[in-house]
Structure 1
Amino acid sequence: MTLSFCSFSSGSSGNCYLIKTQQTALLIDAGISGKKIFEGLEKTGTSREMLAAVLITHEHTDHTKSIKTIMKKQPSIKAYANEKTWNCLDQEICQEQRRVFTTGDAFEIGDIRVKTFRVFHDAADPVGYSFYSGEKQISVVTDTGCMRDEIIDEIKSADILILEANHDVDMLRVGKYPWFLKQRVLGEEGHLSNAAAGETILRLLSEDNKERCVLLAHLSKENNFPEMAYQTVKNILEEADYYIGKHIKLNTIIRDEVSLIYQI
């Protein structure tokens, strides 16, 4: 049985990811238009009937824009979030479609096991997710300003890891953002830089050199670009004698495009 990932959009203008097996499809966030989400399902050969749930990472609009639309158009699906996130959402979702978890919970949706874990962002109770089918694991970690041991423990066995590489620190510091926003992005409840993503991957490789694919995600439009994110991570790895194609597979998710389908 395969476990697959596809990005419909990734970045501050909107986020939506697809996780699926042959039987079950899940969305992580719905921060783009409903039209784009349903187009993404069609492009990936995912029927609406397969769609079982939307899992919400946190309440910011670039992750929740179309939750209400999706739930209305597909009344059979459920939306999952923790209580603090639900309390901050300004979208009316009927109680029958709501599911509430406590951060750290694990649960089953169809034939996919879902594990939630805490990340560090300026939201009410932001989470990352790991998805399991048999021994296969896909983990998603974006919108976190730091990578603490507890997150590393959750993602170190992932076969596919979606990892934030939001900004280049120098570009951010000299860019047009106001000072308060620069401080927010750089803070421990902000976003991971390219260098921080590289250091995270380096740590994962040093602790467990299993074969894995890492997809760099949630790139800033103003303070990053795909080639820079990729090259920064590549440089960090090569300085420690780890090489892309030999020790790890690495790719970058383009902000507003439906990505390749990655499967294990």
Structure 2
Amino acid sequence: MRFSVLASGSSGNAVYVESDEHSFLVDVGLSGKKMEQLFSEIGRDIKKLSGIFITHEHSDHIKGLGVVARKHGVPIFANEKTWSAMDSLIGNVSVNQRFQFDMETVKTFGSIDIQSFAVSHDSIDPMFYIFHENGRKLVLITDTGYVSDRMKGHIKGADSFVFESNHDVSMLQMGRYPWSVKRRILSDVGHVSNEDAAVAMSEVVDIKKTNIYLSHLSKDNNMKDLARMSVTQTLESCGIITGEYVHLHDTDANVPTELVVV
């Protein structure tokens, strides 16, 4: 199983996952043209996708969904409430491409099992995904205001995480956003901070090589170096030294990460 974080940030999100038999896209938060460019940059063909999996209906996760769906005829999977919420936002999509993926269930595609689980975000029924293949585990978890014990139970022991590290609390509090937006981001249905993400990470990593991709960084309230430093310091305060078995990686809003084995 291999994956690339094609784009991650406030402006758009998409993650590519593949096995030897199938290829998947989780969210299509950039334009159809940009998505084709990102696929080209990792040497893959968007026309060969086996399915697109949607986490929730916010624009930075579905912006290019309608265009990609209509142009390439890819099957789309989302839960019932998310389908209802995004229907008017993505334009006409053939009934033959619409598939329901219920919360807290598993679908199997060849050698890969894809598991859905609920998160806490201000959308109608948000959920993220865990990919399992041959004992290896890839977790995608962003867009959540906190990481509950139930979520930790699902994601614990992954080999690779795409993990939200959205904001630095001080930058957010001192920044230009109106208080209503700050309050929403800091709430239990907003986004996790660097420090809160790291505390959750410390509780779900096993003592084995684990790659963590710091994701969904706010353009206005975070920086890559700051996120990495904050997460590193918090992990160390919890007794985990990065570089030993836990390795941190950056993601970018416009440049895909290298396609790597989970």
TM-score bracket for the superposition, by shorter chain length = over 0.9
**Which residue of structure 2 lines up, in the alignment, with residue 100 of structure 1?**
100
Q: Which residue, 86, 90, 101 being the options, matches 2:83? A: 86
Determine whether 1:231 maps to 2:192. Answer: no
**Which residue of structure 2 lines up, in the alignment, with residue 138 of structure 1?**
138
Alpha carbons 2:3, 2:15 under 8 Å: kept: yes
- Consecutive unaligned residues of structure 1, counting only runs of 5 or more, are none
**Which residue of structure 1 lines up, in the alignment, with residue 257 of structure 2?**
259
Tell me whether 100-109 or 182-191 shows the greater mean CA deviation.
Answer: 100-109
Measure the CA separation in 2 of the matches of 1:144 and 1:48: 28
**Which residue of structure 1 lines up, in the alignment, with residue 43 of structure 2?**
45
SS at match of 2:50: strand
**Which residue of structure 1 lines up, in the alignment, with residue 7 of structure 2?**
9
Determine whether 1:243 maps to 2:246. Answer: no
Measure the CA separation in 1 of the matches of 2:129 and 2:66: 21
Alpha carbons 2:144, 2:189 under 8 Å: kept: yes
Alpha carbons 1:11, 1:255 under 8 Å: kept: yes
Measure the CA separation in 2 of the matches of 1:225 and 1:86: 33
Q: TM-score, normalised by structure 1?
A: 0.95
**Which residue of structure 2 lines up, in the alignment, with residue 157 of structure 1?**
157
RMSD: 1.2
**Which residue of structure 2 lines up, in the alignment, with residue 121 of structure 1?**
121
Alpha carbons 2:42, 2:258 under 8 Å: kept: no
Extract structure 1 runs of 4+ deviating beyond 3 A: none
Q: Which residue, 22, 25, 37 being the options, matches 1:24? A: 22
Aligned residues: 259
Q: TM-score, normalised by structure 2?
A: 0.95
Measure the CA separation in 2 of the matches of 1:173 and 1:64: 28
- Consecutive unaligned residues of structure 2, counting only runs of 5 or more, are none
